């Protein structure tokens, strides 16, 4: 479970978060919506302590992450996969290197383990046929072909999938997606939505999805939180979101969606 308690964060005189309270229970998919620049990415970065709050606290699995030392924080971060806004792949690296870099940098140098994990996550995101028998030669050519590709050889949808595959390395409990469908055509967006929903149910990951895309919200969200003026202005199911008469929400849905 993730809990944000009265989170405040300013940059200079810009008060971005002004008392965020939010709980994400395990097993849930929560979508976070809100206008551009309202602090959605900033909020997400607090949960992995890429940013530290001015006041307030972030609790992951009952632990206040501000209290963790370097090693424990690193360990805690391994339970969270992060799909960054815009996929953020390294252009000069191959698909394989992009996927396993975190594991490698964490000290795993056994090529067999790295290779096995790359196959597992690339299959999990649908870039390889889903095979249960390890190392079957049947799809060897497909795998070798894919693993050597560079991000520039891939379509936008495939790049997003590689970004998701990287987040799944090490079987995290939580996966955060920052705008996973932005910039994709509607069909590819729907495929990514299906992937997010599939991973949530098959791998039982708890998902936190920042999105502008209300189709995604209705497809994947168990709950929705809308940020406005630095607080959670609305929290509820997608149906409750649609039915609410809260003026801020109504305005947002009319003007921005």
Ligand X SMILES: Nc1ncnc2c1ncn2[C@@H]1O[C@H](COP(=O)(O)OP(=O)(O)OP(=O)(O)O)[C@@H](O)[C@H]1O
The residue within the footprint of ligand X, chosen from 20, 30, 40, 160 (CB under 6 A), is 40
* Of residues 38 and 124, the one with the C-beta less far from ligand X: 38
* Least distance from ligand X to the Cβ atom of residue 41, Å: 3
The residue within the footprint of Mg ion, chosen from 41, 98, 211, 216 (CB under 5 A), is 41
Site size with Mg ion, rule: CB under 5 A: 1
HSE-CB of 163 using CA atoms within 13 angstroms: 26
Q: Of these partners, ligand X, Mg ion, none, which one is at the site of residue 36 (CB under 5 to 8 Å by kind)?
A: ligand X
Q: Where are the beta strands (DSSP E) in the chain?
A: 2-11, 14-24, 29-33, 55-60, 63-64, 80-83, 174-178, 206-210, 223-228, 231-236
- The pair phi, psi for residue 107, each rounded to 5°, is 115, 0
CA distances from 88 to 22, 41, 82, 118, 166 (A): 27, 14, 11, 18, 11
* Least distance from ligand X to the Cβ atom of residue 39, Å: 4
Spatial contact of 160 and 184, defined as CB atoms under 8 Å apart: yes
- The DSSP symbol for 165 reads H
Contact flags string 78-117 toward ligand X, x per CB under 6 A: -------x--------------------------------
* Of residues 40 and 77, the one with the C-beta less far from ligand X: 40
* Least distance from Mg ion to the Cβ atom of residue 212, Å: 9
Q: Could you tell me which stretch among 33-41, 61-69, 94-102, 134-142 binds ligand X (CB under 6 A)?
A: 33-41
Alpha carbon 165 to its chain centroid, in Å, reads 11
Residue 214 interacting with ligand X (CB under 6 A) = no
Residue 127 interacting with ligand X (CB under 6 A) = no
Distance CA 222, CA 247 (A): 22
* Token pair of 166 as six digits: 């990287």
Nearest alpha-carbon partner for 111 in 147, 87, 68:
147
Residue 225 interacting with ligand X (CB under 6 A) = no
* Token pair of 66 as six digits: 């501000």
* Least distance from ligand X to the Cβ atom of residue 186, Å: 19
The residue within the footprint of ligand X, chosen from 16, 103, 184, 225 (CB under 6 A), is 16
Under the rule (CB under 6 A), what is the footprint of ligand X?
Answer: 11, 14, 16, 34, 36-42, 85
């Amino acid at each position: 479970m993730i809990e944000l308690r009265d989170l405040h964060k300013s940059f200079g005189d810009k008060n971005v978060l002004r008392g965020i309270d939010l709980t994400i229970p395990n097993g849930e998919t929560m979508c976070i919506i809100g206008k551009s620049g309202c602090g959605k990415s900033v909020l997400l970065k607090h949960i992995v302590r890429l940013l530290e709050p001015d006041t307030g606290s972030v609790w992951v699995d009952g632990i206040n992450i501000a209290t963790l030392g370097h090693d424990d924080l690193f360990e805690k971060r391994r339970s969270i996969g992060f799909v960054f806004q815009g996929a953020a792949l390294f252009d000069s690296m191959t698909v394989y290197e992009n996927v396993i870099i975190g594991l490698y940098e964490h000290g795993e140098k056994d090529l067999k383990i790295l290779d096995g994990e790359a196959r597992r996550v690339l299959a999990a995101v649908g870039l390889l046929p889903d095979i249960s028998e390890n190392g079957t030669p049947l799809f060897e050519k497909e795998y070798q072909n894919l693993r050597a590709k560079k991000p520039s050889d891939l379509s936008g949808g495939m790049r997003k999938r590689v970004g998701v595959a990287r987040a799944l390395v090490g079987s995290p409990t939580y996966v955060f997606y920052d705008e996973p469908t932005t910039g994709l055509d509607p069909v590819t967006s729907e495929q990514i939505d299906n992937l997010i929903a599939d991973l949530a149910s098959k791998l039982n990951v708890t998902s936190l999805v920042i999105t502008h895309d209300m189709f995604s919200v209705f497809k994947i969200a168990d709950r929705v939180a809308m940020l406005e003026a630095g607080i959670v202005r609305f929290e509820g199911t997608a149906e409750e979101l649609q039915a609410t008469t809260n003026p801020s929400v109504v305005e947002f849905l009319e003007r921005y969606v």
